[in-house]
Amino acid sequence: MRAVVLFLVLGLALAQGYLVGRVLEVDPLSGTARVQVGAEVREALLPQGGGGFAPGMRAVLYEEGGRLYLTEPDRMPTLLALFALFALLAALLARGKGVRGLLGTFLSLLVLVLWVVPHLAQGGNPLLYALLGSLGVLLLTVYLVHGVNRKTTAAFLGTLLSAFVVLLLALFFVRALGFTGLASEEALLLHQWGGVDLLALYLAGVVVGALGALTDVTVTQAAVVQALAHADPKAPFRLLYRRAMEVGYDHMGSLVNTLVLAYSAGSLPLFLLLTKDPTPWRFLLNTEPFAAEIVAMLLGSLGLLLAVPLTTLVAAWAFRGGRGGAPDHPHPH
Which residues 6+ apart lie within 8 Å of 214 measured at CB?
158, 159, 162, 163, 303, 304, 307
Residue 117, Cβ density class (10 Å: 0-12 exposed, 13-18 middle, ≥19 buried): buried
Of the two residues 75 and 140, the one the predictor is more confident about is 75
Q: Assign 147 a pLDDT band (cuts: 50, 70, 90).
A: confident
Mean pLDDT of 235-248: 90
Mean pLDDT of 6-10: 42
SS3 at position 147 = coil
For residue 327, pLDDT beyond 80: no
pLDDT (0 to 100) of residue 86: 87
pLDDT (0 to 100) of residue 295: 86
pLDDT (0 to 100) of residue 85: 92
pLDDT (0 to 100) of residue 299: 86
pLDDT (0 to 100) of residue 24: 93
Over the stretch 254-298, which tens digit does the pLDDT of each residue have? Answer: 776 666 676 667 667 766 766 777 777 777 778 888 888 888 888
Residue ranges and CATH numbers for the domains of the chain are 2-74 (2.30.30.140), 95-322 (no CATH)
Q: How far is CA 326 from CA 125, 139, 229, 247, in A?
A: 43, 23, 8, 19
pTM above 0.75, yes or no: no
